[in-house]
Homo-oligomer: A and B are copies of this chain.
Amino acid sequence: MSRAIILGGSRGIGKAISESLKSIEIDVFAASRKDVDTSNLDSVKNFVKVHDQTDILVLNTGGPPPKEFMNIDEEDWNKYHRQLFLGFCIVLQNIKVNDDGYIFLISSSVIKEPNSKLIVSSAYRAAFSEVFKIISKDYAAKNISCINIAPGLINTNRTKEVVENIEEHKKSLPMKRLGEPEEIGNFVKAIIENKIKYLSGVVINFDGANSSFIF
Contacts and interface: CB of A to CB of B under 8 A. Distances in A.
Contacts of A145: 209
Contacts of A81: 81
B137 A116 contact: yes
Contacts of A79: none
Interface string A66-100: 00011010100110010001100110110000000
B175 A200 contact: yes
Contacts of A183: 194, 196-199
A152 to B, nearest CB: 8
B206 A204 contact: no
A12 B115 CA distance: 33
Given A189-B194, A198-B207, A201-B209, A131 B113 contact: no
Nearest to A114: B130
Contacts of A195: 186
A61 interface: no
Given A112-B213, A126-B126, A213-B112, A186 B194 contact: yes
Nearest to A128: B123
B122 A134 contact: yes
A121 B211 CA distance: 19
Contact of A199 (B72, B200, B206): B206
A15 to B, nearest CB: 17
Nearest to A141: B174
Contact of A69 (B112, B135, B176, B211): B135
A143 B179 CA distance: 12
B204 A204 contact: yes
For A85, A139, A176, the residue with the greatest tally of chain B CB atoms inside 10 Å of its CB is: A85
Given A74-B90, A113-B214, A187-B190, 18 more contacts: A69-B134, A74-B86, A85-B127, A112-B213, A116-B134, A116-B135, A119-B134, A122-B130, A126-B129, A126-B130, A136-B174, A152-B198, A183-B198, A186-B196, A190-B190, A190-B193, A203-B215, A212-B213
